[in-house]
Amino acid sequence: AQKVTQAQTEISVVEKEDVTLDCVYETRDTTYYLFWYKQPPSGELVFLIRRNSFDEQNEISGRYSWNFQKSTSSFNFTITASQVVDSAVYFCALSEAGSARQLTFGSGTQLTVLP
Amino acid sequence: DSGVTQTPKHLITATGQRVTLRCSPRSGDLSVYWYQQSLDQGLQFLIQYYNGEERAKGNILERFSAQQFPDLHSELNLSSLELGDSALYFCASSVSGRGADTQYFGPGTRLTVL
């Protein structure tokens, strides 16, 4: 069965610091998809990125970057020069190409960016 | 704005009651998913529909049921409510219901059972 682990329950940083959120996953499928979602205090879930298992290229989008490493089953998320607006709960999630098409979520990491 | 709409935004009811949550997917999306977010269980998948047919089932209680209508909107029915059913219920939609799809989430319905 698939599983996503986000070991960091809460992280607190001061504005402009860089911060990395860890995500480790387990799956038996050879084809799978990894996602990051952001849940700000308002409560909605906002899609940030999707990664295919066959594409290990790292990705950068503005201050956000993602490091996908199949060898360690990790899909970590780094925010550079954090801002107060980045304060939110961040979820890593996994879906598979097979029968488990639904998202399996990690428990989330609460990020607080202090001014 | 994801394009997925959910109503109502908040719902307060009593134990033993029945409620219906409604979801309209993004234009063009054929698949709808329901998730429950609670403090003790986190974000859990409940059920998926694709073009009116049930596609996958997760940890959905027998007291809960769902359907997707011909216009593709979906409803989640929760009956014989218990205190532990208090949670944030999300609907998500995707184009084809495959694992490769990105799921876009609605704003959620916050259910409080008193």
Long-range contacts of A50-57, Cβ-Cβ distance < 8 Å, separation of 24 or more: A50/B102, A51/A75, A52/B100, A53/A29
Assign A101 a pLDDT band (cuts: 50, 70, 90): confident
- B16: closest CA among B88, B93, B96, B114? B114
Instruction: Report chain B residues whose CB lies below 8 A from the CB of A96.
Output: 99
Q: Give the list of residues 6+ apart from residue A62 with CB closer than 8 angstroms, or none.
A: none
Burial of B106 (0-12, 13-18, 19+ CB in 10 A): buried
Question: pLDDT of B4-54, one tens digit each?
Answer: 999 999 999 999 999 999 999 999 999 999 999 999 899 999 999 999 999
Contact A61, A47 (CB under 8 A): no
* Cα gap A105→B39, rounded to integer Å: 14
Burial, B28: exposed, middle or buried (Cβ in 10 Å; 0-12, 13-18, 19+)? exposed
What is the distance between the alpha carbons of residues A26 and A42, in angstroms, rounded to a whole number? 30
The pLDDT tens digits for A65-80 are: 999 999 999 999 999 9
With an 8 Å Cβ cutoff, the interface of chain B facing chain A consists of 2, 33, 35, 42-45, 48, 55-56, 58, 88, 90, 92, 97-108, 110
Q: With a cut of 70, say whether residue A100 has pLDDT above it.
A: no
Q: Which amino acid is at B45?
A: F
